[in-house]
Amino acid sequence: MRKYLGMRNQYLLGGIIGSAFIISSILLHHEFYKKDISIIPRVKWDPSTIRRGSLFEYRENLTKCLTNIVIHHSGFKFKPGPNYLLAYQLSMGYDDIAYHFIIDKDGDIYEGRPINFMGAHAGQTKEANELADKIRTGIISDTPIISAYKLDPDYGAIGICLDGNYELEKVLEVQLTALRYLLKSLCFQYKIGKANIFLHNEVKEKIVRKRGLTFVGNETVCPGKYARNKIKHLISIL
């Protein structure tokens, strides 16, 4: 009888521990996505007007629109931070910072272009540009401009930029850790599978050509030879 009770107690104890483990896992899972990731909001580093110019804003549910993530490096070897990147990209004719998130060399994550606005980081296609021109010049009048945007690799692509030039310097572990947290959070929030996380240099083949479209722009090594394999590994074990 005592043995039976002992076994029963062990069974109960095991059940309690098992349940506690499952509950704590769920809580940890929840906490991980909701609290452990800290993103510095745009207003904290750029209190001036957010330049939205002619940016395209997604009108549908973001979970439906946001389907890809594209990872970059900034290409600057010093430590410019988001303010420098914003100023540089405005000087290059962009309406706003190109990326949705910037991870600096301290591993801090900054909100860049608000995520409900289409980014400008993944490249262009001949088909998108030609259709947009025809719509804008009135040659085609019954097609909304979103039809052109949907042919662009930036449509639905969240842009993440690691500050640095990873052709010239080693990517920092603190940045990779922040990237991992950010990717997990974004994948969870927008239901994006890790097969849809790309390096910038993969966009031409894995997004554009796969859709039968024609890539416009220069070949790129972004996010750099010292970061590419490390980020691919990070994605593989996400």
Element (H, E) at 113: none
Cβ count near 120 (within 10 Å): 23
First to last CA, the chain: 49
Q: What is d(CA 78, CA 55) in angstroms, rounded to the nearest whole number?
A: 29
CB of 107 vs Zn ion, minimal distance in Å: 19
- Size of the residue set binding Zn ion (CB under 5 A): 3
Q: Does 98 bind Zn ion (CB under 5 A)?
A: no
Q: Are strands 157-162 and 101-103 parallel, antiparallel or unpaired?
A: parallel
Using the minimum distance from each CB to Zn ion, give the nearer residue, 42 or 72. Answer: 72
| HSE-CB for 31 with a 13 A CA cutoff | 6
- Locate tokens 């990326």: which residue? 99
Using the minimum distance from each CB to Zn ion, give the nearer residue, 200 or 204. Answer: 200
Using the minimum distance from each CB to Zn ion, give the nearer residue, 42 or 228. Answer: 228
Using the minimum distance from each CB to Zn ion, give the nearer residue, 115 or 222. Answer: 222
| HSE-CB for 106 with a 13 A CA cutoff | 9
* Contact pattern for Zn ion over residues 21 through 40, marking x by CB under 5 A: --------------------
CB of 12 vs Zn ion, minimal distance in Å: 56
CB of 75 vs Zn ion, minimal distance in Å: 8
Q: What is d(CA 53, CA 93) in angstroms, rounded to the nearest whole number?
A: 11
Q: Does 42 bind Zn ion (CB under 5 A)?
A: no
Using the minimum distance from each CB to Zn ion, give the nearer residue, 200 or 228. Answer: 200
Q: Does 160 bind Zn ion (CB under 5 A)?
A: no
Q: What is d(CA 77, CA 10) in angstroms, rounded to the nearest whole number?
A: 59
Q: Does 200 bind Zn ion (CB under 5 A)?
A: yes
Number of residues that make up the chain: 238
Q: What is d(CA 176, CA 71) in angstroms, rounded to the nearest whole number?
A: 11
CB of 147 vs Zn ion, minimal distance in Å: 26
CB of 58 vs Zn ion, minimal distance in Å: 21
Q: Does 222 bind Zn ion (CB under 5 A)?
A: yes
Of residues 44-83, which lie at the interface with Zn ion (CB under 5 A)? 72
Of residues 176-195, which lie at the interface with Zn ion (CB under 5 A)? none
CB of 203 vs Zn ion, minimal distance in Å: 9
Cβ within 8 Å of residue 40, ≥6 positions away? 108, 109, 110, 111
Which residues of the chain form contacts with Zn ion (CB under 5 A)? Answer: 72, 200, 222
